[in-house]
Amino acid sequence: NAGVTQTPKFRILKIGQSMTLQCTQDMNHNYMYWYRQDPGMGLKLIYYSVGAGITDKGEVPNGYNVSRSTTEDFPLRLELAAPSQTSVYFCATQGQPVTEAFFGQGTRLTVV
Amino acid sequence: DQQVKQNSPSLSVQEGRISILNCDYTNSMFDYFLWYKKYPAEGPTFLISISSIKDKNEDGRFTVFLNKSAKHLSLHIVPSQPGDSAVYFCAASAGSAGKSTFGDGTTLTVKP
């Protein structure tokens, strides 16, 4: 089992470009999350999903969009990249609410 | 207002000694607490958790203590090993919401 797979691992974007960060899980978990981690900071929740077809905003959703058409996939879309979106992005899954989350290896994004 | 705070950005201990990492929270709705460990260029991995109905949970060298009245939890690592050197994140969640709020992390360095 691969667990949680994020692609790409690294990406450099120019201001105004768009991209999709991919996240796929093979754990059959209903709960999925997108976090960002800025240097020296903790993880901030961008968006989350409690099941296919259901998404909701987290703490820092501005500039991002998500979709959840299947249990396995939870892509994160950046429409107009800005330098403030330079960060490391982590996707995570969770089987039940009161359990631990499983994280992908992260995507390091730089916007120049 | 940061709901989960780790006031010590870093901690250095000698191999074999005890490491104590602290975490404070402000939201009284939090009822499930977790510690994650993170190595560079990897995603966080789950270490240990505790429910608000308990005041202590132990797993091998790792023990988490919860003081609900003080809204404080701590992670004890005994004995500390060089391989424990990593960033440790405290996280908290409220009931069935599932999603966790993270602290900014404490970098633990265990010296041989």
Rounded Cα gap, residues A10 and B17, in angstroms: 38
Tokens of B63: 């023990």
Q: pLDDT confidence of B81, banded at 50, 70, 90?
A: very high
Tens-place pLDDT, residues B86-99: 999 999 999 777 88
Q: Tell me how close the Cα of A55 comes to any Cα of chain B, in angstroms.
A: 12
Only one residue has tokens 């950046």, namely A78
Our CA dihedral for B11, B14, B15, B18, rounded to 10 degrees, sits at: -60
CB nearest A42 (choices: B32, B46, B104): B104
Greatest CA separation found in chain B? Answer: 42
Half-sphere exposure of B14 (CA within 13 A, CB side): 1
Identify the pLDDT of residue B67. Answer: 97
Q: pLDDT confidence of B3, banded at 50, 70, 90?
A: very high
**Across the strands, what pairs with B67?**
B72
**Across the strands, what pairs with A58?**
none
Whether A53 shows a pLDDT value over 80: the answer reads: yes
**Contact at 8 Å (CB) between B90 and B35?**
yes
Tens-place pLDDT, residues A19-34: 999 999 999 999 999 9
**Across the strands, what pairs with A34?**
A47, A91
**Interface contact B98-A40, CB threshold 8 A:** no
> Which residues of chain B make contact with A90, given a CB cutoff of 8 A?
43-44
> Which residues of chain B make contact with A43, given a CB cutoff of 8 A?
44, 89, 102
The rounded percent of chain B whose pLDDT value lies above 70 is 100
In this complex, is the C-beta atom of A5 within 8 Å of any C-beta atom belonging to chain B?
no
- Region class of A20: left (phi > 0), else alpha (psi between -120 and 50), else beta: beta
